[in-house]
Structure 1
Amino acid sequence: MNRRIALSVLALVAVLLALAVLPLGRLLDQREQTSFRDSAEATGRTLASSAEENLSDHKSAAPTLRLLAATQSDGDCATVYDGTGRVLFRTSCGTAQGTTAQDLVRAAVADAQAHTHQGDGLITVATPIGDADEPVGAAVLTRSLDPLHDRIAAVQGWLAAIAVGGLLAGALLSVALARWVGRPLHEVDRAAQRLGDGHLEVRAPVRAGPPEVRRLAATFNTMAARTEALVHGHRTVIADVSHQLRTPLAALRLRLDLLGGEADAGTAQELAGAQEEIARLSRLVDGLLAVARAESAVPRPTPVRVADLVAERVDAWEPVASERRVTLTADSPDGPDGPADLLAFLGPGDLEQVLDNLIANAVDAAREGGRVRVRARPAGATVQLVVTDDGPGMSPAARAAAFRRFGNPHAKGSGLGLAIVHRLVTANGGTARLQETPGGGLTVTLELPAPPRRVAQVSRAPQPGTRRTDP
């Protein structure tokens, strides 16, 4: 953003300078050219007036010769012609003679007006001598255009220096403006990122920047404070509920156990049914507390080795699957660049909970002699985790509602496992979807975020004192 602000202001300054300097440069060039031409014409009129006293009034030619000498000392060349085009007086330089000068003389004598020719680095002015009705000759002045070019170059140099100075001032102003606006916005952005990472105590500074940015920072701080209060309040409620519900349920189960030891067969059977209901209620309370914790938790993502955790959780659930005669398998690592080195960016412990819930649901749903498969693979900028079973599957309506609390009324457990999975995955920036397994069953596909490249490189680097070997 700083770069965009600086470039925008600098572009605006450049456009304004272009709109001001270019027309001014053209105007000053035209003014210098007009002034130079007028000066040459004025010198030509002075020379013609002096020559008129000699040609018309038959006075001494000495003033005209002195004027010619002064003209030559100024770097100009001049020649005085009579009405027939014959040279009467001239400076030692002969640049005022030639075809161009002769043509200008004839034109000036013919129409009694001054004529100017500019070219080849020279300006030539022919001024008629005598009355306007009957010119008796013409005075021709030739002047180099080098002084004009030098003056124009000096003007253009000053304008270029002003433009460069304006651009430099605009660049400094744009950078200062961009930092003044962008720095507090970056602070708010960093505070928002830290808040999203779970640092609920973070606040944005409100002392710098424009008033709008300071109000934004103050609003963010208010939101962060309310979020912190809500999360802490939610966690406190969860802790209170956990204590208040588990203790009475444990006491009730203990009392039923005591009563079961003294009751007859019929009563013991009823008490056993009550104990099963209490156990189901305990599982339901545990599931609700797990969902509440998942919803109130703010993840602080860290790189997680997906293949290692998949192998670990499959090994942990293998005895349960074997007891129910279900084959539980996981994809084997495919080398240093395959699933063995896949990294996901999740909160600590989140992937373990996700895998436990998915594997438990899949093992419960799989038919006897069936199979549950867990595999992880890269999928562009994400890591795809797929859990497949060959059980009865779910109807489209049940799949659409499965991620809500008690979304599957036919679930064998509490019906909260998929809700916990969905909450943990989406809170970390991933997605979850349910599909029908070809041939029957349910496939759960999770898209887990991969860590940033810099974090991933650090996480994949071998630890000091270890040596990594390739197969």
Structure 2
Amino acid sequence: MTRRLLLSYLTLAALLLLCLEIPLGFVYSRGERERVINAAKDEAESVSAFASLSVSAGRAAEDLPERAAHCAERIGGMVLIVDQDGALLATSHPLSAAEQHSLASWPGIAAALRGTATADVRTSTIGGVQYLAVATPVRHGSQKLGAVRITVPTRMVHERVHHVWLLLVLGGLVALTAVAVIGFGIARWTGRPIRELENATHELAVGGTAVPVAITKGPPEVRSLAATFNRTAARLEHLLASQRAFAGEASHQLKTPLAALRLRLENLENDIALNARGSLTAALTETDRLARMVEGLLAMARLDESAAEPERIDLAQVCGERHRAWRPLYEQHGVWLALAGDWDCTGEVLALPGAVEQILDNLLSNALRVSPPGSSVSIDPRRPASPERRFAHRHPSPERRFPHRASGPGWIELHVMDEGPGMTEEQRRRAFDRFWRAPDAPKGGTGLGLALVQRLAHASGGEVVLRQAPRGGLDAVVRLPAAPAGPGGPAAPSQRPTRPLQTTAPGRL
């Protein structure tokens, strides 16, 4: 906005200067030319009057050469005096015989001998004078006695005209500079309320606290916009706070009744008929599913309220821990859980405390649920191989794609690949929606696991996408920023990162 305002000021000032200075330059040039012409005419009339007296008194030969030389010296030009027949009477500069013989045929002298005063003026393209010659008849009463021709040098006039144009150009540049300095200050002052609104909007967009902006600065339109923004930000913050509070409080309050309900259902097992045991088991299963859903909602609510900063996480250490924790459960289901990747080249990532563990737990739980016996699931951290890879996610629009901002050492990808039935492209796009489950998904899921994975990845500054695995299953790819090398990065965590967001046990979500 500042640049546009400054450009508009400079454009208006330049147009105004052009409209004023160009006519002023031409007016001055024309005035200077008229002044020189009138001065030359006056000088010619003076010499003509002197020549008339000298010729009438018979002293032309004695007085006129001296007069011509004196006049030429004074004006720095050339003076010619001829009689009625065009013969040379006096000259300030020597002439050749041919020139003396043809004086009567010169345009200005011929007209003056006929009794007409002339002025031959040739101007330059910017209004300056390039050549000036004035011819005046010499009369004594009504008798024509000859003619006077004066040629005036125009170099000084030409230089003065150019000097004026140069002054006008320099004055215009000084004026534009002054307008630029003053206009920049005015533009900064005018755009200050807009910049405050921009900063407040950016802070609100990245999840910060909505700080009210002042509504006493700027024009009425800006003040009205600021007031509208304050109301919108306050309402949005209130709605978000209410949503977080409701999700957290509701899920927390539901935990105790659900635990009591499950306990009562389990106590009914000995008193219920054998043919009703199936319904009891189904009720217990649905109770467990509802409990997992409540746990997922509570985890999201805690994530919304969390203001933790990303810290350095040893990805290899975390993957090894989660592999050891999940391998026994995988073996019970006949599924092989493998570690892959080049661990020496992986390094550390920046993530929220406990986020990587929670991400792996949810992805491994989903992979176990869809993996048939005899298949395998792999945990594979790696560096991005190509800068052309693109990540797709649904936050907040239905589908947006983000290219790699940097490849190589800037990012680290964590792949969890299974050999299950996989998903279609449309299902992979919707998989991160809360409570959404694929039509053919196994029973027991809540539809919150992948949504929580996406929230944790975004909060850590990364992305997550679902792809088709090489063997037909699903490849869940989590991209996290690599921790900078050296002491410039955040402080290293303890030997084992804390996990404040961990709310589910293996196999529970």
Same fold (TM over 0.5): yes
Higher helix share: 1
The correspondence for 1:126, drawn from 115, 135, 150, is 135
Change (3 A) 1:357 1:125: same
CA contact (8 A) 1:366 1:391 kept: yes
Q: Equivalent residues in 2 for 1:306-317 (5 A)? A: 308-309=314-315, 311-317=317-323
Deviation of 1:332 (Å): 2.8
Report Cα offsets for 1:325-358 as digits up to 9, x if no partner.
Answer: 32232533454xxx425x56x6665555433322
Letter aligned with residue 406 of structure 1: W
Equivalent position SS for 2:416? strand
Matched, 1:332 2:342: yes
Structure 1 unpaired stretches of 5+: 466-471
CA contact (8 A) 2:109 2:135 kept: no
Aligned mates of 1:441, 1:96 — CA distance in 2: 110
Counterpart for residue 421 of structure 1: 453
Structure 2 unpaired stretches of 5+: 124-128, 388-403, 493-509
Aligned mates of 1:288, 1:66 — CA distance in 2: 115
Deviation of 1:43 (Å): 1.8
CA contact (8 A) 1:79 1:87 kept: yes
Matched, 1:9 2:9: yes
Counterpart for residue 475 of structure 2: 443
The correspondence for 2:199, drawn from 190, 206, 218, is 190
Deviation of 1:227 (Å): 1.4
Letter aligned with residue 419 of structure 1: A
Q: Equivalent residues in 2 for 1:244-283 (5 A)? A: 244-257=253-266, 263=271, 266=274, 274-283=283-292
Aligned mates of 2:244, 2:490 — CA distance in 1: 37
Aligned mates of 2:254, 2:58 — CA distance in 1: 134
Report Cα offsets for 1:125-176 as digits up to 9, x if no partner.
Answer: 3323238998432212233324313431442243123212221222123312
Aligned mates of 1:84, 1:24 — CA distance in 2: 46
Aligned mates of 2:339, 2:419 — CA distance in 1: 13
Deviation of 1:283 (Å): 1.2
Equivalent position SS for 1:318? helix
Letter aligned with residue 439 of structure 1: R
Letter aligned with residue 120 of structure 2: T
Aligned mates of 2:306, 2:22 — CA distance in 1: 59
Identity of matched residues, %: 33
Counterpart for residue 50 of structure 1: 50
Counterpart for residue 461 of structure 1: 488
Equivalent position SS for 1:81? strand
Change (3 A) 1:117 1:31: closer
Report Cα offsets for 1:225-281 as digits up to 9, x if no partner.
Answer: 111111111122123212321121122233445555x74784995766644432222
Aligned mates of 2:488, 2:215 — CA distance in 1: 40
Matched, 1:224 2:253: no
Aligned mates of 2:108, 2:298 — CA distance in 1: 111
Matched, 1:81 2:61: no
TM-score by length of 2: 0.72
Counterpart for residue 325 of structure 2: 319
The correspondence for 2:436, drawn from 406, 425, 434, is 406
Counterpart for residue 469 of structure 1: none
Deviation of 1:18 (Å): 3.5
Equivalent position SS for 2:383? strand
Counterpart for residue 170 of structure 2: 161
Counterpart for residue 468 of structure 1: none
Counterpart for residue 25 of structure 2: 25
CA contact (8 A) 1:363 1:372 kept: no
Deviation of 1:442 (Å): 1.0
Matched, 1:284 2:293: yes
Change (3 A) 1:100 1:43: farther
Change (3 A) 1:437 1:22: same
Counterpart for residue 94 of structure 1: 93
CA contact (8 A) 1:95 1:142 kept: no
Change (3 A) 1:388 1:254: same
Deviation of 1:189 (Å): 2.0
Aligned mates of 2:452, 2:103 — CA distance in 1: 102
Equivalent position SS for 1:142? strand
Aligned mates of 1:8, 1:235 — CA distance in 2: 47
Matched, 1:116 2:107: no
Counterpart for residue 367 of structure 1: 372
CA contact (8 A) 2:196 2:213 kept: yes
Report Cα offsets for 1:173-199 as digits up to 9, x if no partner.
Answer: 331232123332222222222223332
Change (3 A) 1:108 1:435: closer
Letter aligned with residue 44 of structure 2: G
CA contact (8 A) 2:79 2:148 kept: yes
Equivalent position SS for 2:217? coil
Counterpart for residue 187 of structure 2: 178
Change (3 A) 1:424 1:284: same
Equivalent position SS for 2:164? helix
Aligned mates of 1:356, 1:31 — CA distance in 2: 92
The correspondence for 1:388, drawn from 417, 423, 427, is 417
The correspondence for 1:141, drawn from 125, 141, 150, is 150
Report Cα offsets for 1:286-305 as digits up to 9, x if no partner.
Answer: 234445666xx388695565
Letter aligned with residue 40 of structure 2: A
